[in-house]
A and B are shown apart, each in its own frame.
Chain A
Amino acid sequence: MKIPVRLNVNGETYELVIAPYRTLVDVLREEIRLTGSKKGCDVGDCGACTVLMDGKPVNSCLVLAATAQDKEIVTIEGLAQNGKLHPLQEAFIKEGAVQCGFCTPGVLMSLKALVDDNPAPTPEDVKIAMAGNLCRCTGYSKIFKAVAAATRQP
């Protein structure tokens, strides 16, 4: 029995009719066709599906889409604003913090939440903020460098 669900994603409202047991990551990817959020494990162990829900990073594979109604959801596709990249996105490009790119959307969402809250995070703050995002390619090194570059004090 499908049910109507209204989702607010990246500032747009989507009226959907979906099975109640569909997760947010599947609905984002398959119904709304925002495939930037990835499925690395589907059970909350890797962070590739991280999106912001009311400003907080969550594993969208562990959220039923129907329960995300009336929340403000921001995905990687909503990080750049008006064609302008977020400083973290710029820094990731510049510092070489992207290799295969599969973990990148989830990592950026976790880090966006960090810097929104704490504009001058220490290296330890960064490590803790992204501990739920596994990366297998970069060894994390240039990701740390990119955050430092993006949050440099003027």
Chain B
Amino acid sequence: MRFELLQPRSFQEALEMKKNYRERAKVLAGGTDLLVLLKDGKLKAEAVMSLGGVGELNFIRSEDGGGATLGALVSHRGVALSPVMQQRFPDLAEACSQVGAVQIQNLGTVGGNICNASPAADTAPPLMLMEALLTLASTRGERRVPINDFFRGPRHTVLEPDELLKEIFLPQVSGRRGATYLKLGRREAMEIAIVGIGVAVHLNGSDQLVSECRIAMGSVAPTPVRASAAEGVINNKEVTNELIDEVAEVAAEAARPISDVRASAEYSMDMIRVLCRRAIHNALLRARNRKVEGHS
């Protein structure tokens, strides 16, 4: 790989550079995706803009009301170990702790993970469950894009050539919410997900009544997806084993996994069902154990 290296010292400088270089500059955050692509020759770059000097984007900020904001450059490890994240958004912390292994988690960033837009991105399902809001910035200003609208296809997002991801806002989650992220790989570490399922459930009143269920799936389609039809099956219903099975079945129907070196489409479909069921159970368990945080 051979390229010019841009090293902005501030976010503002980065935006200026991105405005000038547009597609000609690839954005480097943790390097765990970009540098591999460049080394493999799968991508060629005239210039690479490293955001390593933009320390102002490496933060986790707790918001009043229970939400949180992540700077785009917060590392997976930072999120995994953050008490705020573990407390308020345990599924995201869980997802970050399942990326690769410790070294990859120290380098890789949440922003990089979603901007790289691999369908297998581990942070995407939890962020989709939370309906995170992304702040995209350019010298022209800022705009907020819901994460559901962010992914266009494999390695393709709605980011304009002069835009950079600035922040990720995680709206507060109130009431008795339990969420989990389950990842299937051939090994316990250093894996790209064969299937990644995030589930969040809200209980209302009784332990049996699911007021809302959200399901997001990675690695099963060209982008991470919400399984809306499946969600509809269980919203405002009393939970039973049959219902969970049905949810898992409907979720699988919405998926279009491909066969590749990792797994066949048929196995992936089976695993969507299995992981979905398990994730719902996990999420229910967490919701039931949760103390209400002064809101309902």
Residues of A in contact with B (beta carbons under 8 Å apart): 1, 3, 19-21, 23, 42-45, 47, 50, 53, 56-59, 61-64, 66-67, 110, 113, 128-129, 131-133
Identify 26 residue pairs between A and B in the complex whose beta-carbon atoms are under 8 Å apart, listed by A's number: A19-B2, A20-B5, A21-B3, A21-B5, A21-B48, A43-B35, A43-B36, A43-B39, A44-B36, A44-B104, A47-B103, A57-B102, A63-B31, A63-B107, A64-B31, A66-B7, A67-B52, A67-B53, A113-B102, A128-B101, A128-B102, A129-B102, A132-B102, A132-B189, A132-B190, A133-B101
Kindly list the 10 A-B residue pairs having the minimum CB-CB distance in the complex, ordered from nearest. Answer: A132-B101, A20-B5, A131-B189, A67-B52, A131-B101, A56-B106, A62-B31, A132-B103, A59-B103, A43-B36
Q: Which of B1, B5, B48, B188 is the most central at the interface, judged by chain A CB atoms within 10 Å of its CB?
A: B5
Contact B7 A50 (CB under 8 A): no
Q: Is B28 an interface residue (CB 8 A)?
A: yes
Q: Is B64 an interface residue (CB 8 A)?
A: no
Contact B77 A47 (CB under 8 A): no
Q: Is B4 an interface residue (CB 8 A)?
A: yes
Contact A21 B2 (CB under 8 A): yes
B window 10-43: CB within 8 A of A: 28, 30-32, 35-36, 39-40
Q: Chain B residues near A59 (CB, 8 Å)?
A: 32, 103-104, 107
CA distance A134 to B146 in the complex (A): 39
CA distance A132 to B101 in the complex (A): 5
Partner of B28, one of A3, A47, A64: A64
> Nearest chain A CB to B191's CB is how many angstroms away?
10
Q: Is B161 an interface residue (CB 8 A)?
A: no
Query: Number of contact residues on B: which range applies?
Result: 20 to 34
Q: Is B50 an interface residue (CB 8 A)?
A: yes
Contact A131 B5 (CB under 8 A): no
Residues of B in contact with A (beta carbons under 8 Å apart): 1-5, 7, 28, 30-32, 35-36, 39-40, 48, 50, 52-53, 77, 100-104, 106-107, 188-190
Chain A residue at smallest Cβ distance from B106:
A56
Contact A44 B189 (CB under 8 A): no
Q: Chain A residues near B30 (CB, 8 Å)?
A: 62
Q: Chain A residues near B100 (CB, 8 Å)?
A: 44, 132
Q: Chain A residues near B188 (CB, 8 Å)?
A: 131
Q: Chain A residues near B7 (CB, 8 Å)?
A: 66-67
CA distance A57 to B107 in the complex (A): 9
Q: Chain B residues near A62 (CB, 8 Å)?
A: 30-32, 35-36, 107
Partner of B40, one of A3, A43, A66, A110: A43
With A62-B107, A131-B188 known as contacts, the answer to whether A21 contacts B101 (CB < 8 A) is no
Q: Chain B residues near A50 (CB, 8 Å)?
A: 103
> Nearest chain B CB to A23's CB is how many angstroms away?
7
CA distance A67 to B44 in the complex (A): 19
Contact A20 B3 (CB under 8 A): yes
Contact A45 B190 (CB under 8 A): yes
Chain A residue at smallest Cβ distance from B39:
A43
CA distance A129 to B80 in the complex (A): 14
Q: Which of B48, B101, B107 is the most central at the interface, judged by chain A CB atoms within 10 Å of its CB?
A: B101
Chain B residue at smallest Cβ distance from A52:
B106
CA distance A57 to B105 in the complex (A): 9
CA distance A98 to B190 in the complex (A): 23
Contact B36 A58 (CB under 8 A): no
